[in-house]
Amino acid sequence: MVDVAADRDRILAWLADVPDPEIPVLSIMDLGIVRDVECGAGVVVSLSPTYSGCPATEVIEASVIAALEDRGVMDVAIKRVLSPPWTTDWISDAGRQKLKRYGIAPPERGSGKRALLQGQRPIACPRCESEDTERVSEFGSTACKAAYRCTECLEPFEYFKCI
């Protein structure tokens, strides 16, 4: 049995191994949705969904519980934190690099959706880095991504939308 009372850092390290079910190259720590871990008689993991209707939320919560139970932590509770809402600014630098290597253009820090919709900034191709790209569809394989095409290398790619 694990002594959970004083092992917050170990639990955070274990959570870094829990993948996002929609973009498995990212961990939930890379995504920045782990808000807090409280250790006491049990463990309470506070998570923020990427948006309130995210279909992966319950899968992520179950994955967190399973990951900790697999390591001997049997008293695990999930606290869903909606305020302040998650933002793409919380994606770690390592997570942004993982997205890019995976072929998904990461969102820039501090860039809101209004700038994207008004066409104020180009989306760089994650493969060739050209900014000569065009949006094919506002909706990609998941609600948090849009479909793009690079007019330089002609490769399709997804862009992780700014939230």
Global pTM?
Answer: 0.86
Mean pLDDT (whole number) for 5-34:
92
**CATH code reported for the domain at 4-80:** 3.30.300.130
Exposure class string for 135-163: b at 16+ Cβ within 10 A, else e: eeeeebebbbbbebbbeeeebebbbbbbe
> Could you read off the pLDDT of 27-47 as tens digits, one per residue?
999 999 999 999 988 999 999
Domain ranges of the chain: 4-80, 94-160
pLDDT surpasses 60 at 118: no
Which pLDDT belongs to residue 81? Answer: 96
The crossing angle, in degrees rounded to 10, of helices 8-15 and 57-70 is: 130
